[in-house]
Amino acid sequence: ATPAATMVGTSIGANNGVVFKGGDILERVRDVDSVVFDKTGTLTQGEMSLTDVVAIEPTPDGGRLKGAGAPAGPQAPTGDADASAEPPTGDDAPESGVTPAETAVLRLAAAAERNSEHPLGQAIVDGAEAHGIDVPEPTDFENVPGQGVTATVDGARLLVGNRRLLVDAGIDTAPAEDEMRRLESEGKTAMLVGRVPAAAEPGDAPSAVVGVVADADTVKPTAAEAVAALRDRGLDVHLLTGDNGRTARAVAEDVGIAPDNVRAEVLPDHKADVVESLQEGDRNAMMVGDGVNDAPALAAAHVGAALGSGTDVAIEAADVTLMRDAPRDVTKAIRISAGTLSKIK
């Protein structure tokens, strides 16, 4: 491309909220044959809100589930003093149908997430506060990228995150599995709340799943239209996420991405590998993402496109910035590239 054509394309882009970092990017975009979308914050709003809290009562036979809508009754699990005995408002049962056991789970989960910058964690904290819960300050907060968080609350070690996080800590997730699946098939992100008792704790409460919390997100208005337009142009469209398969497929179905093109439960370090695998031979992928966890994949892709509201790390790793955060603008970037380069042939 001539410098003039490149300048025209770059400035048309800028006027349309599509910032190309350099003239050569226009040519790279032209060679793309697949588009890989991150899910959370890219295809979806990334504005999570807490939708469900479930208390899992540990029992010798492996646990019993209490649904969020479970009939009222004696809810305090026996032998698990800490997780159940201290609803923050004393005897005041919270309104809106949340039982004391569920309040206890939400309080612990929110405390563990208090210092989290992840939208999933922030939604839990906001949800707890909306329920009038006084969220305690945890100690030893630790973020485990792509898995969840751990922190010490009331002397016990809390884990909030996916199955891998708890399994790696030696906690059996089976008692929560039915609830996890139910919530995931609704497209929600369900998270386990695990608790490792303090060494000095009386009794011998085991490390266990004490609850499940779920956040829901909404698909962006232009996501389905963007996927359809890309597929019309002959591009292969994929969804790549750290979230679990059931949730990811529910979102993929909403936006028109084929189930075979869903790659779920991908750890941040492996997102780039998935992109590389789509670039075997002389294939070229465009990765579209917003998070720190997308940065390696954005860098590995023939073209990385970051959302303007994305993290600085993502924007730095990318070649294009989509200032309006709209999935539809991926098509715009491709059209601008094709239009500009064809004119100068």
Positions that interact with Mg ion (CB under 5 A):
38, 40-41, 290-291
Asked if residue 218 lies in contact with residue 45, where contact means CB atoms within 8 angstroms, the answer is yes
Q: Is there binding between residue 243 and ligand ADP (CB under 6 A)? A: yes
Site for ligand ADP in 166-195 (CB under 6 A): 189, 191
Residue 124 CB, nearest distance to ligand ADP (Å)?
7
- Cα gap 321→327, rounded to integer Å: 12
Asked if residue 329 lies in contact with residue 220, where contact means CB atoms within 8 angstroms, the answer is no
Residue 39 CB, nearest distance to ligand ADP (Å)?
5
3-state SS class at 306: strand
Judged by CB, which is closer to ligand ADP: 8, or 212? Answer: 212
Contact track, ligand ADP, 257-276, x by CB under 6 A: -----------x--------
Q: Indicate the residue type of 12.
A: I
Judged by CB, which is closer to Mg ion: 187, or 291? Answer: 291
Judged by CB, which is closer to ligand ADP: 36, or 320? Answer: 36
Task: Name the phi and psi angles at 319, rounded to 5.
Answer: -100, -25
> What value does the CA radius of gyration of the chain take, rounded to a whole number of Å?
23
Residue 37 CB, nearest distance to Mg ion (Å)?
9
Judged by CB, which is closer to ligand ADP: 26, or 50? Answer: 50
- Cα gap 344→339, rounded to integer Å: 9
The residue assigned the tokens 């975009």 is 29
| One of 50, 53, 104, 120 touching ligand ADP (CB under 6 A) | 120
Residue 51 CB, nearest distance to Mg ion (Å)?
19
The binder of 6, among Mg ion, ligand ADP, none, by C-beta within 5 to 8 A per type, is: none
Task: Name the phi and psi angles at 64, rounded to 5.
Answer: -130, 145
Choose one: 7-15, 67-75, 147-155, 307-315; the region binding ligand ADP (CB under 6 A).
147-155
Contact track, ligand ADP, 27-66, x by CB under 6 A: -----------xxx--------------------------
Judged by CB, which is closer to Mg ion: 152, or 261? Answer: 261
Q: Which long-range contacts (CB under 8 A, 24 or more apart) does 143-148 make?
A: 143/116, 143/117, 143/118, 145/267, 145/268, 145/292, 145/293, 146/242, 146/266, 146/267, 146/268, 146/293, 147/267, 148/191
| One of 77, 87, 161, 296 touching ligand ADP (CB under 6 A) | 161
Residue 319 CA to chain centroid, in angstroms?
A: 23
The binder of 243, among ligand ADP, Mg ion, none, by C-beta within 5 to 8 A per type, is: ligand ADP
Residue 165 CB, nearest distance to ligand ADP (Å)?
7
Residue nearest to ligand ADP (CB): 242
**First CA to last CA distance, the chain:** 8
Query: 38 an active-site residue?
Result: yes
Asked if residue 6 lies in contact with residue 23, where contact means CB atoms within 8 angstroms, the answer is yes
Widest CA span in the chain: 79
Choose one: 65-73, 75-83, 133-141, 239-247; the region binding ligand ADP (CB under 6 A).
239-247
- Cα gap 110→137, rounded to integer Å: 9
Question: Of these residues, 24, 31, 33, 38, which one is catalytic?
Answer: 38
Q: Is there binding between residue 148 and ligand ADP (CB under 6 A)? A: yes
Instruction: Name the H helices within the chain.
Output: 3-15, 23-30, 81-84, 100-113, 119-130, 163-168, 177-184, 223-232, 245-255, 268-277, 295-300, 312-317, 328-343
Active site residues: 38
> Which residues of this chain interact with ligand ADP, rule CB under 6 A?
38-40, 113, 116, 118, 120-121, 146-149, 160-162, 189, 191, 241-243, 268, 291, 293
